[in-house]
Every structure is written in structure tokens, then in C-alpha cells.
Amino acid sequence: MNDINTLKNFLDGKVEEYNQPSFLDKDPISIPHRFTAKQDIEIAGFFAAILAWGNRTTIIKKCTELMDLMDNAPYSFCKSPSASSLKKIMHFKHRTFNGTDILYFIEFLRYHYSSHTSLEGAFTDGFNREEKTVENALAYFHEYFFSLPDSPERTRKHIATPLKMSTCKRINMFLRWMVRNDKTGVDFGLWQNILPAQLICPVDVHVARVAKKLKLIKRKQTDWLTAVELTECLQKFDPLDPVKYDFALFGLGVTEKF
């Protein structure tokens, strides 16, 4: 499948196949889709993306548990959590994400929403709309997220940054959810100050495997530069919305075991 037009047509078909609401129930993006208010969607989506590693059924189960602990009102909960509710939620755990982490996440969200109406500013306050990619937005968010006093060192592993060469898969996935809006009903398109063209494709082991098999990337290691290389290749197929091919690559890798 070396012909670029043949490959584009193949991937476009897979995007159409997997970018459908029928796949929502099996994906962590189903968590923010339970809400209608912007801030609830942002917070539920943020947690769903951050906790998205491991078995997807388990991820959705743990995210559901977390939303239940927040009384299924994440914005209200994070804006003014009571001592009793914090005591209850500190026992939440998913893999290496534990009570220390959840308490700091809530404290950051409480702090941020005390002066912002959207989580978008946590990325775009340090971002120029003319920039080629969201790399600086991700680096800014990491710095801002851990700017509060006594931020736990252990929690840093849960928020990736391109400055440490991470693929930033989960943060890039969250940005895809918040920025893209192609009217299919999957991604939300809530944010206006980042363009779909500036997004970087989320890369995990499944996407990397498929991308290498399709000769979309040459880099051997899987890191930030790999994600950039893949996105630049996908821009040849759609310069305005290259990350839509995340649906195709992930679907091929996870659903079809391509």
C-alpha cells in the first residue's frame, strides 16, 4: 500500500467506519458524553483521558466510579469540595493513580476554575494561535498544572510534557476531544483557540505499530518526535484535520489487530 492515494482512500474509509457514535460506549470518551455542561464535559474528559491506560472496559468502569464519587457533577464537586467528600474520594485508585494524585488534581481544578470559565485557558494562556503545533501549549499546561504550592512529585508522572520527549498520548487525546468537531457526534469541538490543524496525533503502542506497518513513520523509538513525524505524514492526507486519522489507526490496531 505504497501509493499515497491508495493509502489515503484506505485510511479515509477507516475514519468513516470508526468515527461513529456507535463506538462511544466502548471508548473512554463515553464518560464526558454523559454530561451537557461545558465544564462538566471538560473535567470528565480530562479525568477519562488521564486514566486511559490499560483495558478499556476497566478504564470506563473506574471513570464511572470516579464520577459517582463526584456525585456525577464534576464541576460543582471540584469548585467547592467538602471535607467529607474529599475524605471519601481519596480512596480512589486506578493502577498507579491514587489518593494523593486525585486530591491534587481536584485542588488544581478548583484553583483554575476560580478564575477561568473553561479549562481551555490552562493550555492556551501560554500558546500562540499562529504556532504550528500544540507543543508549547502542552509544555505550558504541565508547568501551570504543577505550579501550586506543595505539588506532589509522584503526581508528575500522570501529566506528560513534550519537554521530556513523551508522546503525550493522553493529553493529545484530550485535546482531540475538546478541539475537533466534524459533526459526527464523537469529538466535542468545545474549544475555539486551538485549531484542529495544530493538534498532534495521540500515539500509543497500537497506533505506533499500525503506523510503522503502513510506513507512516520511520523513527524506531516511540516518543514525542514520533508523534510529530506521524502527524506531519497525516497532514499530507488532510492538512486541516490530520488527527482525524487517529480513529483509523487506533481502530485498525485495537479492533482489527492490524
Q: Which portions of the chain are predicted below pLDDT 50?
A: none
* Per-residue pLDDT, 2: 60
**Cβ-contact 226, 162 below 8 angstroms:** no
Chain centre to alpha carbon of residue 42? 11
Look at the chain and count its residues. 258
* Per-residue pLDDT, 257: 85
Backbone phi and psi for residue 97, each to the nearest 5 degrees, phi listed first = -85, 120
Give the global pTM: 0.96
Residues 85-144: pLDDT tens digits?
Answer: 999 999 999 999 999 999 999 999 999 999 999 999 999 998 988 999 999 999 999 999
Contacts 24+ apart (CB under 8 A), 52-61: 52/28, 52/170, 52/173, 53/95, 53/170, 54/94, 54/95, 56/26, 56/27, 56/28, 59/28, 59/94, 60/26, 60/27, 60/28, 60/30, 60/31
Cα separation, 235 vs 243, in Å, equals 8
Backbone phi and psi for residue 247, each to the nearest 5 degrees, phi listed first = -60, -45
* Per-residue pLDDT, 1: 56
183 CB contacts (<8 Å, ≥6 apart)? none
Query: Exposure of 243 by Cβ count < 10 A (0-12 exposed, 13-18 middle, 19+ buried)?
Result: buried
* Per-residue pLDDT, 129: 85
